[in-house]
Each structure stands twice: as C-alpha cells, then as structure tokens.
Amino acid sequence: MRERLYFLLPDVKRAQSTMRHLLLARIEERHVHVLAKDETDIKDLPPATLGQKSDFYHAMALGIIVGGVTGIAGGLTVYAFPPEGMNVTLSVVALFAMLGSIFGIWTSGLIGTDVPNTQLARFRRPIARGKILMMVDVPRDKVAEIRSIMKKQHPEASDNGMDGMYPVFP
C-alpha cells in the first residue's frame, strides 16, 4: 500500500525542481499528480486525473449503493405485486438490484465528474491563489525519506499531511 503525501508549492518552476528530486528518490512519475488553476500551464508535470480532481469515485460508490437499494425495493414491489398473468420469481429482485446498481453507477459517475474532489477542499483557496498542489503516492516505508528530502531540498514546499491506503498499482 501507498500513502499519498500533499505538498503545496509556490509556482511551476519549483514544482518542476521538486519533480526532479522525486525522480532521483525513485518515485515514478506515475505516482506524482499535480493540480493547479485551470489557466496555469504546468508544462511537463504529470497532471491530476479526472478521478483525482473530481468526486467521480465517491459518487460512483454512492451510486452503486443507492441504485442497488432502489433496485431491491423495485424488485420486491414487482415480486409482491406481480403484473397480471405473469409468474414472477424471487430472481426478479436480484435482477432489479443489479440493474439499479448499474444505473446508479452510471448516473452518479456522470454527476461526480462535475463535483470538485471533497478530499481536496482544503486546497481550493491556495490553488485559486496560484499555488501548485503536488500529490505524491509513496510506499509506507519511504514516507519519512520523502518528507526529509522535501524539507531539505524544498523548504518552500509546505507539507500538508497525507492520506493512506492507496493501492500499489497505478
């Protein structure tokens, strides 16, 4: 598992310098994500993905739950009050639950792409003022090393904590 470290940097030039030091510390580029104002040219820095910028994944998780529960309720209604002339089995509840979950994931995912990531709410003001947010996913055993490198090489970068439990793969 990996920990996600958050660093706020004053500008793109310092973010590029930080990126070079992270690469030298053997943090792969795919584990670094940069978020800045829309009009900021982050140059060759790895941009944050849609899933990192928005509440896409959170919305999908809610969608599967709400859609599944709604589907179960609909399936139980059809099972309890079957259409005339139809023989409805209990499997209709499972079918409705599955369809409700799929519909919930789809609609919530669409909505979630337009909602800013709630986990990054604390960074909205600094980013709006021109700061660069660098999210670095590091193995647990390298957290202290990366923080030390950042403190020594980039004292202008403010360490803004970490979140845990990011999968090792992309």
pLDDT tens figures, 150-160: 999 999 988 88
Mean pLDDT of the chain: 92
Is residue 170 very low, low, confident or very high in pLDDT (cuts 50, 70, 90)? very low
Structural domains in the chain, sorted by start: 2-49+121-166 (3.30.70.120), 56-112 (no CATH)
CB 136 within 8 A of CB 150: no
> What would you report as the CA-atom Rg of the chain, rounded to the nearest whole angstrom?
22
- 87-145: pLDDT as tens digits: 899 999 999 999 999 999 999 999 999 999 988 999 999 999 999 999 999 998 999 99
φ, ψ (nearest 5 deg) of residue 38: -55, -40
CB 92 within 8 A of CB 125: no
Return the structure tokens found at 151: 């403190």
CB 4 within 8 A of CB 136: yes
Residue 6 bridge partners (DSSP): 135
Report which DSSP code applies to 2: E
